[in-house]
Structure 1
Amino acid sequence: MKIVITGASGFVGQNLLRYLQDKECNVESLSLRKTWQINKSADALIHLAGKAHDTANTSADKEYFEINTELTKKLFDEFLDSDIVDFIYFSSVKATADTIEGILDEEHISDPKTPYGKSKLLAEQYLLSKDLPVGKRLFIVRPCMIHGPGNKGNLNLLYKVVEKGIPWPLAAFENERSFLSIDNLNFLILQILKNKNIESGIYNFADDDFISTNKLIQIIGDASGKKSRLWNLPAGLIVFAAKVGDKIKLPLNSERLKKLTESYSVSNKKIKKALEINKLPVSAEEGLIKTIKSFQSK
């Protein structure tokens, strides 16, 4: 199987490229930074390249639309004019909802609030508006928070908190969140490529179980051999501190507080039903432990 991947230099791209190569796929990377041309004889095109969500809110809005929307349009047009069978576009759950009550599934009416989410949704809408030639397939993948050995972000921040013995001051916030292990992501992409009976469409990618942030702190403590300490400080006080952080650039701001404490549960039932499986290879807790243990070697 000959596969082209854009964004292969990123965390997901590097891992997916190696995984597919290990599975004896012929994989090549395509940079979209300057002049580019796709290999029109490939079997699949996986579009990972994009501008990630900037939680510090320092990026210009137009950058999201130039990269996430317009570049995706051009790439998809090239795909339609090629012999490539499968187009897999990595969108995001944030293309449909920044916050969610209950459990997010693919039937949710999309209403993103950020430039990032809007740029991803516009790209999705363009792809879906095109007539797909007979024999071709289009998959819009909406992953939740992806993690694995080698990646950075809020998991790394939480790890440092526990490692240094700092009490977790946000225990008053009860939530349930979905995560996505890079191992499960890789598995799902390969299964889609191999199984030609899976229909085109939008598919959420998430681990099977929901994990609260308080539970995550405990998992980090157990995985790193450190004692986790949970403090139930008044939620109102924490919210006020985050608002101060918005103005004077503290480590805790409203966006980061939201990411750390909000509930965001994502259903993966549709993709599992399509693959006719009951569960993914790696449990949410197993994946998190693997990621956390990787921080210890740094």
Structure 2
Amino acid sequence: MEAQIESGATLRAKRNRTLITGATGFVGQAVVRRILADPSHEVVAPSRRAAAWDDERVRPLCVPDFVTFDRWGDALADVDSVVHCAARVHVMNDEAIDPLTEFRRVNVQGTLTLASQAAAAGVRRFVFISSVKVNGESTRAGSPFTAEQVPAPQDAYGISKQEAEEGLRELSQTTSMEIVVIRPPLVYGPGVKANFASMTRWLRRGVPLPLGAIVNQRSLVALDNLVDLVALALVHPNAAGQTFMVSDGEDVSTTELLHRTAAALGKRARLLPVPMSWLEMAAAVLGKRAVAQRLCGSLQVDISKTCELLGWRPPVSLDEALRKAMRSTA
């Protein structure tokens, strides 16, 4: 382990510039902050609109259309590594006529265009933020997803992420650029939106929720934990060519998550013990099966490979991360 740490430190001293796509997004902003914690490091930050940064080590780059942008060469000059966070993300009510085509356009074509130009520019390592949805939508309790199992994506977003992973691996066979894939489950933290933000509002208002008897197990990952792994994946020699699952290392039921989130808010969750079968039946009648799946189903990931191969442990606990996230919503 000492040799690995020494080698990683040597690589860290040599690298000096990282291009981070999606740099103004929820995950991307946190990655930028973490990279800039190294005073010798610089960041190239492409975004759809010219963004103002309060650090002179950030070089903003306006990229109106990520897919059709064809001037990555200049942006990649002297760039040692890339963290690719930008994506067309999973949406519940997709209005696209052909969602898979749209997901492929951004998540596959856009990713591989950037990656091929990065390889041509001599970029050493490309870290791709993928998704647990490449593995599938649910697991049996106690049978978590692993990085090695055969992918089984079930929606257009997951399919596009799998195809992007496959394209990156093919590229790595013909170039010297190292590929690292990270598949996070639900990411939460300061500024989180969507379902997690809605849950927080319900708990803050003391709304009674029929979610007090859910027996499942779900993996989550705090933003700080995900970013910590990204930073390590940029430099660790054992990360090259690998796919990693990531989580907080503690799985919880939906009911327990609600109780612990309420505690982080200084509140008491008002949960009604409605049987899961009733919730699933009601969801089916209302055409909300996907919602019921996320609330009642299990989705666990096994991070043992990540921990053993990289010597990594989630630095932030679930409760600590929830408190930090709730302070940002106060």
Q: Quick check: TM above 0.5? A: yes
| 1:3 alignment partner in structure 2 | 18
1:154-233 to structure 2, matched below 5 A, reads 154-233=195-274
| Residue 283 of structure 1 pairs with residue 328 of structure 2 | no
Would you say 1:44 and 2:81 are equivalent positions? yes
- Mapped contact 1:154–1:260 kept (Cα < 8 A): no
Aligned to 1:67: 106
The reply on whether 1:29 has 2:29 as its aligned counterpart is no
Q: Distance in 2 between matches of 1:263 and 1:289?
A: 24
User: What is the letter of the counterpart of residue 255 of structure 2?
Assistant: N
* Candidates 269, 280, 283, aligned match of 1:242: 283
- Once residues 133 and 85 of structure 1 are traced to their aligned partners in structure 2, the CA distance between those partners, rounded to angstroms, is 14
Q: Percent identity?
A: 28
Asked whether the 8 Å contact 2:247–2:314 carries over to 1, the reply is no
CA contact (8 A) 1:207 1:268 kept: no
How does 1:264-279 map onto structure 2 within 5 Å?
A: 264-277=299-312, 279=313
Q: SS in structure 1 opposite 2:237?
A: coil
Partner of 2:182: 141
CA separation of 1:2/1:132 partners in 2, compared to 1, >3 Å: closer, same or farther?
farther
Pairwise CA RMSD:
1.8
Structure 1 unaligned runs (5+)?
247-252
Q: Do 1:30 and 1:36's aligned partners in 2 also have CA atoms closer than 8 Å?
A: no
Q: What corresponds to 2:7 in structure 1?
A: none
Q: Distance in 2 between matches of 1:174 and 1:93?
A: 21
Runs of 5+ unmatched residues, structure 2: 1-15, 48-62
Q: Tell me if 1:257 matches 2:257.
A: no
Q: What letter corresponds to residue 270 of structure 1 in structure 2?
A: K
Q: 2:107·2:161 contact (CA, 8 Å) conserved in 1?
A: yes
Per-residue deviation, 1:21: 1.2
1:58 matched to 2:98? The reply is no
205 and 125 in structure 1: CA distance in 2 versus 1, 3 angstrom threshold: same
Which residue in 1 is equivalent to 2:58? none
Corresponding residue for 1:86? 125
Deviations 1:10-37 (A, max 9, x none): 1101111122112222111124543342
Give the partner amino acid of 2:86: A
State the alpha-carbon separation in 2 of the partners of residues 36 and 180 from structure 1: 34
User: What's the secondary structure of 1:104's corresponding residue?
Assistant: coil
Change (3 A) 1:72 1:134: closer
Distance in 2 separating the partners of 1:7 and 1:144 = 18
Partner secondary structure for residue 250 of structure 2: coil
Cα-to-partner distance string for 1:217-247 (whole Å, 9 max, x where unaligned)? 111221112221221223333223323443x
Alignment pair present for 1:294 and 2:328: yes
Q: Within 2, Cα distance between the matches of 1:162 and 1:88?
A: 36
Quote the Cα distance in structure 2 between the aligned partners of 1:197 and 1:265: 24
1:230 partner SS: coil
Aligned equivalent of 2:115: 76
Match of 1:46, SS state, is strand
Please show how residues 124-139 of structure 1 align to structure 2 within 5 Å.
Answer: 124-132=165-173, 136-139=177-180
Report the alpha carbon displacement of residue 138 of structure 1 after superposing the two structures with TM.
0.6
Q: Under a length normalisation based on structure 2, what TM-score does the superposition of the two structures give? A: 0.82
For the residue of structure 2 that corresponds to 1:193, the secondary structure is helix
2:172 and 2:125 mapped to 1: Cα distance? 14
1:250 matched to which residue of 2?
A: none
Aligned length: 289
| Cα offset, 1:56, TM superposition | 2.4
Residue aligned with 2:191, SS: coil
